[in-house]
Homo-oligomer: A and B are copies of this chain.
Amino acid sequence: MKKTALLLIDMMNHMEFEGGDDLLKNSIPMVERLKELKKRAKKKGLPVIYVNDHFNHWQDNTDAVVEECRESKGKPVVEEILPEDNDYFIIKPKHSGFFGTQLDILLKQLNVERLIITGVATDICVLFTANDAHMREYEICVPEDCSAAESKEAHDSAMRIIKQSLNADIQIAEKISL
């Protein structure tokens, strides 16, 4: 199997925006499954890479981003899935994890060719990161139970496109082989 990495998109999240309450509600059950998936990935020694909004900290400063989110409305999700010291943490300034970031460079250095993409929101940052990964010829899995959106309709619209336009494997996390 191709070398795989696990991406967590915007899981350090203050949820302090319009629709944030709904996103938080939908993320709480999801984060449990994502935690499990992360545990499996780390047991296998796979790279775990947080790719996260910088929330207008324009210093590339992981700690500041994490601290701010721990004190925010997003706390119930954030505390469940904090980055560990040997996780990678890449700051992204826009929707896609590949735009204006070193993600692609890091993945090449790690010889990663397959990505498991998780996080929030399915219909924005997850979808657009998945597309950018596909254009760069990574094999992609987007387990349908490890991302969340503000509504079921938004989640489903995005998953439909991820499956059909990007040919992604969207099986639930526990079925994905690592």
Chain copies in the assembled complex: 4
Q: List 8 A-B contacts (CB under 8 A).
A: A58-B90, A59-B89, A61-B61, A61-B62, A93-B102, A99-B135, A108-B137, A121-B165
Q: In the complex, which residues of chain B have a beta carbon less than 8 angstroms from the beta carbon of A164?
A: 123, 154
A161 at the A/B interface (Cβ < 8 Å)?
Answer: yes
Chain-B contact segment, one of A8-16, A124-132, A140-148: A124-132
Q: Is the CB of B105 within 8 A of A100?
A: yes
Interface residues on chain A, size class? 35 or more
Alpha-carbon gap, A93 to B123, bound state (A): 24
In the bound complex, do residue B157 and residue A124 qualify as a contact, i.e. CB atoms below 8 Å apart? no
Partner among B60, B123, B131 whose Cβ is within 8 Å of the Cβ of A60: B60
